C-alpha cells in the first residue's frame, strides 16, 4: 500500500493540511500569554546577546531579557544562565533572531522533530520490525524525561541527536568524519555521558580510527570560531562565568549530591565525583571483558545508563539520552511478546514514568535520584529476560 500513488497523495494532502493548520494557529500559538518563561529563555537570551557581541553568560543581561520576554525577575532567575560552552552558541544564535514566543514555539517543534527522527533511526539501527516502527515513537514520547525536556525547553535533544548520529555514521556508514562531527553535539553537556568519552578514547586507540577525534575537534573549533565572529570575547566570558557561577550550590538529583547534602556536608564539592570514580572502575572492567568484540550498538545503552547513574551533575530531563536503551529493550520485548514476563517489565517501565510525572507535580527535581537507577535495573532485567544475540551494524 505504501508504494501506491493513492497513499503518496494522501500523505501530501495530510502534510499540506497540517502546515495550513499550523499557519492558521500561529498567531494564537505565539501569543506571549500562552508561551511559558522556562529554561529555554537562557538559550534564547544567550543567543541574542552573542549575536549582539555582548556577554551571553552575564546573569544581569539574561535577567533583563527574561523580564522583557514577560518573565518575572528574581534572584534565582538572575543567576540562571546558559552554562554550555561557546560552540553551543551557534545552535542558539538563530533563535535570538526571533521574538521569544515565536522562538519558543520553533524550538518546541524542532525538538519534537528531532525526537521523532532519533526514535525512528534507533528502531532501524536496532533492527526492529518495520511494521512496529510506531512503537518507537510511542515509547519515546511516554518516556518521562522526554516530556520534561520538552516542557522545560532544554537543549538535551541535541545530545540525543549527536549520539544517534554517531551510531549511524560510525557503524552503519563507517563515515568517521561525520561521526566525529556528530560528537560535537554530545560535547554540549559532556558530563551527562562522561563514560562515552572514555570509551571513545579507548576504542579509537584500539581501532586506529583517529579521524573521529580529528573531525570532532575540528567541528568544535569551527563552531567556536563562528561564535567568536560575532563576539570575540566569548571564550573568556565563558571561563569567567565558570569561575564565578556557583554550580556547587545546585541540588541536582545525582548520587553525589545526596552524599553532600545528607552525609559529608554541602561545604565540600568533591563528594559529587565519588560515584563517577566507581563508574570509571566499572567501565575498565567492562572494557576488559568486551573490547575484543566491541560494537557501539550493543554497548552504548549500558554505557549511557551507568553514566547517568554515576554522573556528578545532571537533571532528570538529561535522561532523554537514554532513549537508545529504552528502544533497544522495547525491541527485545516485542520480538518475544508472547512471554508473560513482558507484562511485568512493561508495567515496571510505565510505572517508573508515571511515578516520575505524578511526583514532579509536588516535588522538585532533587528528589528524583531514584529514576536513573530504576531505569538501569529495568534495562538489566529486560536484558536478562529477553537475551538477544549481538547486533551486526545495519547497512543503509
Place of cell 544475540: 389
CA 7/CA 1 separation, integer angstroms: 7
Domain membership of residue 35 (yes or no) is no
CA 352/CA 350 separation, integer angstroms: 6
Q: State pLDDT tens for residues 227-240.
A: 999 999 999 999 99
Q: How confident is the model at residue 77 (pLDDT cuts 50, 70, 90)?
A: very low
* Phi, psi values for residue 348, rounded to 5°: -65, -45
CA 330/CA 325 separation, integer angstroms: 9
372-381 average pLDDT score: 96
Question: Which residues are within 8 A (CB) of 70 and not within 5 positions of it... i.e. 6 or more apart?
Answer: 32, 33, 35, 37, 100
Checking if the pLDDT of 321 tops 70, the result is: yes
The Cβ of residue 251 has, within 10 Å, a number of other Cβ atoms equal to: 14
Domain membership of residue 143 (yes or no) is yes
Q: Chain centroid to CA 144: how far?
A: 13
CA 388/CA 135 separation, integer angstroms: 19
- Domain extent for 187: 40-385
Domain membership of residue 393 (yes or no) is no
By the 8 A CB rule, do 383 and 389 touch? no
Q: State pLDDT tens for residues 334-351.
A: 887 777 788 899 999 999
By the 8 A CB rule, do 331 and 127 touch? yes
Which cell numbers hold the place of 118? 532519533
By the 8 A CB rule, do 284 and 303 touch? no
Angstrom distances, CA of residue 242 to CA of 57, 74, 92, 113: 9, 21, 19, 32
Is the model more confident about 89 or about 23? Answer: 89
The DSSP 8-state label assigned to residue 84 in this structure reads S
Is the model more confident about 379 or about 64? Answer: 379
The DSSP 8-state label assigned to residue 253 in this structure reads S
Domain membership of residue 91 (yes or no) is yes
Q: So what's the pLDDT on residue 14?
A: 80
* Structural domain count, the chain: 1
Report pTM.
Answer: 0.90
Q: How confident is the model at residue 74 (pLDDT cuts 50, 70, 90)?
A: very low
The DSSP 8-state label assigned to residue 315 in this structure reads -
Domain membership of residue 145 (yes or no) is yes
Domain membership of residue 153 (yes or no) is yes
Place of cell 522583557: 68
Which cell numbers hold the place of 167? 551510531
The DSSP 8-state label assigned to residue 189 in this structure reads S
Which cell numbers hold the place of 57? 553568560
Question: Which residues are within 8 A (CB) of 202 and not within 5 positions of it... i.e. 6 or more apart?
Answer: 287, 291
CA 314/CA 308 separation, integer angstroms: 7
Domain membership of residue 391 (yes or no) is no
Q: State pLDDT tens for residues 4-43.
A: 677 677 777 887 887 777 666 656 555 555 556 678 989 9
Domain membership of residue 29 (yes or no) is no
Amino acid at each position: 500500500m505504501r508504494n501506491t500513488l493513492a497513499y503518496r497523495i494522501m500523505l501530501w494532502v495530510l502534510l499540506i493540511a497540517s502546515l495550513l493548520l499550523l499557519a492558521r494557529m500561529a498567531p494564537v500559538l505565539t501569543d506571549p500569554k500562552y508561551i511559558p518563561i522556562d529554561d529555554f529563555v537562557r538559550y534564547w537570551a544567550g543567543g541574542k546577546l552573542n549575536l549582539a557581541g555582548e556577554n551571553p553568560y552575564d546573569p544581569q543581561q539574561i535577567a533583563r531579557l527574561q523580564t522583557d520576554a514577560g518573565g518575572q525577575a528574581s534572584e534565582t532567575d538572575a543567576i540562571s544562565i546558559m552554562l554550555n560552552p561557546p560552540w553551543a552558541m551557534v545552535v542558539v544564535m538563530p533563535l535570538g533572531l526571533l521574538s521569544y514566543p515565536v522562538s519558543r514555539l520553533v524550538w518546541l517543534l524542532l525538538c519534537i522533530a528531532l525526537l521523532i527522527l532519533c526514535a525512528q533511526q534507533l528502531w532501524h539501527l536496532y533492527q526492529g520490525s518495520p511494521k512496529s516502527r510506531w512503537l518507537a515513537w510511542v515509547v519515546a514520547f511516554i518516556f518521562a524525561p522526554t516530556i520534561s525536556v520538552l516542557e522545560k525547553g532544554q537543549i538535551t535533544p541535541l545530545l540525543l541527536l549527536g549520539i544517534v548520529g554517531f551510531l549511524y555514521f560510525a557503524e552503519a556508514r563507517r563515515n568517521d568524519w561525520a561521526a566525529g562531527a556528530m560528537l560535537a553535539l554530545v560535547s554540549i553537556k559532556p558530563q551527562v555521558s562522561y563514560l562515552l568519552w572514555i570509551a571513545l578514547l579507548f576504542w579509537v586507540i584500539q581501532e586506529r580510527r583517529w579521524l573521529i577525534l580529528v573531525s570532532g575537534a575540528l567541528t568544535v573549533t569551527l563552531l567556536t570560531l563562528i561564535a567568536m565572529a560575532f563576539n570575540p570575547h566569548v571564550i573568556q566570558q565563558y571561563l569567567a562565568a565558570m569561575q564565578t557561577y556557583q554550580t556547587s550550590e545546585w541540588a541536582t538529583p545525582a548520587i553525589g549530591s545526596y552524599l553532600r547534602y545528607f552525609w559529608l556536608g554541602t561545604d565540600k564539592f568533591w563528594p559529587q565525583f565519588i560515584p563517577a570514580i566507581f563508574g570509571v572502575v566499572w567501565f575498565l572492567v567492562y572494557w576488559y571483558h568486551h573490547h575484543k568484540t566491541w560494537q557501539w550498538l550493543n554497548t552504548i545503552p549500558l554505557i549511557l545508563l551507568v553514566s547517568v547513574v554515576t554522573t556528578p551533575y545532571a537533571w532528570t530531563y538529561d535522561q532523554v539520552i537514554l532513549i537508545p536503551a529504552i528502544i533497544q529493550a522495547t525491541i527485545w520485548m516485542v520480538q518475544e511478546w508472547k512471554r508473560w514476563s513482558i507484562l511485568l517489565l512493561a508495567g515496571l517501565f510505565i510505572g517508573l514514568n508515571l511515578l516520575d510525572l505524578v511526583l514532579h507535580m509536588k516535588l522538585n527535581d532533587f528528589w528524583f535520584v531514584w529514576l536513573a537507577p530504576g531505569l538501569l535495573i529495568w534495562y538489566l532485567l529486560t536484558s536478562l529476560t529477553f537475551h538477544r544475540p549481538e547486533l551486526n551494524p545495519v547497512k543503509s
